[in-house]
């Protein structure tokens, strides 16, 4: 019995990282092609980067300013409260019209699929925070006209945490949360 | 193509799906060989356009998974030209295009 559980979880986490997308949306079949491209794509960039920085000091400087400018953004805030402060959200009102679709248990914290949506009229912006992550703010989505207030992405989770979605309608902010239990952390620590 | 984009229309609603190639380094992971922190390197902005019209702008932090996936819906039609562009915190950028099918 134990062995079976182990096998299942290994399989599941392996599958989630490589072909998760393929499993979830088989007709899309993006994942198969993405897999072989991965190592090829990431390796050259890693080798290139230091060389580039040495050769072009100007570019290195540009990178530094870019890093400095993100310093103050809510994305680098290291606590949930600071992230909310950076977003200018005082106290979001909990609403059952803000919906989060996420697994209750994530076997692999490196890839947790999350969908946020709302049935509230006039939503212009949505956001996603992971309370216990080192940098809790994961994403902000700003919708154009005609774009429906729903978005799916995949996030990393360091450990079990509440996932919080917020939706801005006019100058009010509504939120909802769901706990996701993580059995294997996703921040490479 | 580094961004794979698919867009499909069903009764007036287009579902856009994009899969990007990016390491999405958080800046908190240690290189196992050297013990040094791997510098943060992540996509911080994704823009999705249909022709000249901006459908969605996503601002991301390092909590988004490596090789990020994004999907959403908008009111549109087959034949719309979809363009997805990302920029990362090191000034890198890439884009991918597709045409909405039925």
ipTM beyond cut 0.90? yes
| Contact in structure between A120 and A75 (CB atoms under 8 Å) | no
> Among A54-68, B2-16, B21-35, B68-82, which stretch is predicted with the lowest mean pLDDT?
A54-68
Q: What are residue B98's DSSP bridge partners?
A: B82
CATH code of A172's domain = 2.60.40.2470
Give me the tens of pLDDT residue by residue for chain A, a chain 189 residues long: 455 555 455 444 444 444 444 344 444 344 444 444 444 444 444 444 444 444 444 444 444 444 444 446 899 899 999 999 999 887 889 999 999 999 999 989 999 999 999 999 999 999 999 999 999 999 999 999 999 999 999 999 999 999 999 999 988 999 999 999 998 766 554
User: What range does the domain containing A45 cover?
Assistant: 2-71
Q: Say which residue the tokens 């599941």 belong to.
A: A12
Same domain for A171 and A112: yes
Whole-number pLDDT of residue A4: 55
Phi-psi region of A88 (alpha: psi -120 to 50; beta: other; left: phi over 0): left
Q: How far is Cα A85 from Cα A91, in angstroms, rounded to an integer?
A: 10
Interchain proximity A148–B75, CB inside 8 Å? yes
Edge-to-edge order in the sheet of strand A98-101: A98-101, A112-118, A147-155, B69-75, B13-20, B3-10
- Mean confidence (pLDDT) of chain B: 94
Nearest CA of chain A to the CA of B78: how many Å?
15
Beta carbons within 10 angstroms of residue A106's beta carbon: 27
Same domain for A117 and A65: no
List Cβ neighbours of A158 (8 Å cut-off, separation of 6 or more). A109, A132, A133, A134, A182, A185, A186, A187, A189
Same domain for A143 and A59: no
Domains of chain B: 3-25+38-99 (2.60.40.10)
Q: Is A43 part of any domain?
A: yes
Same domain for A166 and A102: yes
| Contact in structure between B48 and B84 (CB atoms under 8 Å) | yes
Q: Indicate the number of domains in chain A.
A: 2
Nearest CA of chain A to the CA of B15: how many Å?
10
Same domain for A66 and A125: no
Chain A: residue whose CA lies nearest to B6: A28
Q: pLDDT by residue (tens digit) across B72-89?
A: 999 999 999 999 999 999
Which of B7, B72, B73 to mutate: most A Cβ within 10 Å?
B72
Q: How far is Cα A3 from Cα A15, in angstroms, rounded to an integer?
A: 18
Interchain proximity A42–B61, CB inside 8 Å? no
Same domain for A153 and A108: yes
């Amino acid at each position: 019995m134990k062995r079976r559980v182990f096998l299942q979880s290994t399989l599941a986490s392996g599958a989630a990282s490589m072909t998760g997308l393929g499993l979830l949306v088989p007709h899309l079949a993006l994942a198969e092609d993405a897999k072989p491209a991965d190592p090829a794509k990431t390796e050259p960039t890693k080798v290139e980067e230091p060389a580039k920085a040495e050769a072009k000091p100007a570019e290195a400087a540009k990178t530094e300013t870019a890093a400095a400018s993100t310093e103050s953004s809510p994305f680098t805030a290291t606590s949930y409260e600071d992230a909310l402060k950076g977003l200018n959200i005082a106290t979001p009102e909990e609403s059952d019209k803000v919906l989060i679709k996420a697994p209750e248990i994530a076997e692999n914290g490196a890839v947790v699929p999350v969908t946020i949506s709302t049935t509230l009229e006039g939503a212009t912006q949505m956001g996603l925070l992971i309370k216990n992550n080192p940098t809790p703010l994961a994403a902000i989505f700003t919708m154009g006209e005609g774009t429906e207030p729903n978005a799916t992405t995949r996030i990393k989770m360091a450990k079990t945490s509440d996932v919080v979605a917020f939706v801005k309608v006019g100058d009010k902010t509504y939120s909802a949360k769901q706990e996701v239990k993580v059995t294997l952390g996703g921040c490479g620590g | 193509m580094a961004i794979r984009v698919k867009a499909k229309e069903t009764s007036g609603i287009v579902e856009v799906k994009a899969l990007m190639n990016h390491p999405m380094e958080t800046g908190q992971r240690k290189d196992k060989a050297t013990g040094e922190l791997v510098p943060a390197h992540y996509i911080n902005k994704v823009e999705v356009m249909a022709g000249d019209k901006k459908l969605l702008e996503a601002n991301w932090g390092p909590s988004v998974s490596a090789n990020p996936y994004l999907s959403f819906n908008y009111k549109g039609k087959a034949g719309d030209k979809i363009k997805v562009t990302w920029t990362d915190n090191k000034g890198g950028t890439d884009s991918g295009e597709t045409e909405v099918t039925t």
